[in-house]
Amino acid sequence: DYELCEEWARLYPVPREDLINLHREHLLHLLEMGDMEKALQLLQRVEDPGICLAISEQCLDQHPNLAASHLLADYLTAHFYPSLTTARRKEIQALYLGSKMLLTLPELSRVNYFHLSSRPLLMLEQLLMNMKVDWVAVAVQTLHQLLAGQEIGFTVEDIDNLFSKYAEKALNFPFALKEKRS
C-alpha cells in the first residue's frame, strides 16, 4: 500500500505534509520490520532534501528500536549535519553514541538501559552503580574511539571525572576503625 501511495504521489500533486506523513509511516514500518536496506532505499528515493530531513527527524523522535535509532542518527549525521542546529547535532550524536554503547552490552540487558540511549554519560554511571564493570570497560573503549571530533556535550575528561568520583566513593568508609586494646 505504501508503494502504491508513493506512486500516486509521483503522478498527482500531494500536499507536502501528506507526503511527509506517508514517507514517515512507510519508513517506520520498514524499520519495525527490521528491513534497514529498504529503509535506506526509501530515504534515497525522496528527492526533496527538506522532506527527507523532516522524515528522518520525525522517525528518530518517535524512538524506534535500537537498530533503527542507530541507523537514523547515523543517516542524519552523515547527510544533514550542516542543516541541523547545534543543539540538535549534540542530541543526535549523543543518541548515536548511546546506541553504539548499547550494542556493546549483552543482548538481553539492552532493554534495561535503552531509556538512557540519548544520555551515554548517564548510562555509564548507571552501569557503574549496577557494578557492571566489565560492560563499562567495553563501553568506554567504544566511547574513546567515537568521541574524537564529536560535539556532544561531554569529553573523555568527563568520563575520567565520573570514574574518579565513583572510585572515591568506593574507598569512602562511613565508620572509623577502632584499635583493639589488650
**Closest listed residue to residue 101, CA positions, set 76, 126, 131:** 126
Residue 120: all three cell numbers together: 551515554
pLDDT band at residue 75 using 50, 70 and 90 as cut-offs = very high
Give one DSSP letter per residue of 107-163, joined into a string: GGGHHHHGGGTT-HHHHHHHHHHTT-HHHHHHHHHHHHHH-TT--SS--HHHHHHHH
Write the pLDDT tens digit of every residue in 123-144: 998 998 888 888 888 888 888 7
- Mean pLDDT along residues 153-165: 81
Asked whether the predicted pLDDT for residue 176 surpasses 70, the reply is no
Mean of the per-residue pLDDT values for the chain? 85
Q: What gap in Å lies between CA 93 and CA 74, rounded to an integer?
A: 8
Q: What gap in Å lies between CA 96 and CA 111, rounded to an integer?
A: 16
pLDDT band at residue 171 using 50, 70 and 90 as cut-offs = confident
Res 63: pLDDT: 79
Write down how long the chain is. Answer: 182
Are the C-beta atoms of residues 31 and 48 closer than 8 Å to each other?
no
Asked whether the predicted pLDDT for residue 151 surpasses 90, the reply is no
CA 107 to chain centre: 16
Write the pLDDT tens digit of every residue in 11-68: 888 899 998 898 999 999 999 998 899 999 989 988 889 999 999 999 998 877 888 9
Q: What gap in Å lies between CA 102 and CA 110, rounded to an integer?
A: 6
Res 72: pLDDT: 92
Write the pLDDT tens digit of every residue in 85-113: 888 888 888 888 888 889 889 989 888 99
